[in-house]
Amino acid sequence: MSLAVVVLALVTLERGAELVWARRNTRRLLARGGREAGAGHYPLIVALHAAWLAGLWLLGRDRPVSIPWLAVFAALQAGRIWVLATLGGRWTTRIVVLPGETLVRRGPYRFIPHPNYAVVVGEILVLPLALGLLAYALVFSLLNAAVLVVRIRAESRALGREALP
């Protein structure tokens, strides 16, 4: 089994586990009176991420892995874990606002307003680079940027913050 297959398998397992956790958290938040915002663009996010990962399996599974880029990807995973640990039961792949709750201002949220999206931007760029797929990295980075414009505006509106330009 190649290193690329091992990496892609681990990323796939991680994403699957995150989806299970996100669904559980979403159900809990909604049961506590949370409301979902921006549901209309959610299928686009799911499609983008599924296509990204499926394409990596198709194009990258037999490619050599760049260890330096893989190290950058591993560092991004540390950032992902920090975000997940900070948000705990409030982390979800959807935008769910719980009335009366204050915004999280600890962990990575002390430094930047959307650390989860910063990690995702890095991942979408770096994992294809680790597999030598420069054009793939650029195309999906541009697609992700377009989706994030919509996502961050919807999230900012839902949280009562001014959206980024």
**Domain regions of the chain by residue span:** 3-158
Task: Say which DSSP state 96 is in.
Answer: E
Type of residue at 130: A
Query: Could you give the CA distance from residue 125 to residue 113 in angstroms, rounded to a whole number?
Result: 20
Q: How far apart are the first and last CA of the chain?
A: 45
pTM: 0.92
Structurally, at CATH architecture level, domain 3-158 sits in Up-down Bundle (1.20)
Q: Is residue 163 over pLDDT 50?
A: no
Cα–Cα nearest to 52, from 10, 99, 11: 11
The predicted-structure confidence for 130-157, as pLDDT tens digits, reads as follows: 999 999 999 999 999 999 999 999 999 9
pLDDT at 161: 62
- In degrees, to the nearest 5, what angle opens at C-alpha 119 toward C-alphas 56 and 112? 165
Query: Could you give the CA distance from residue 19 to residue 5 in angstroms, rounded to a whole number?
Result: 21
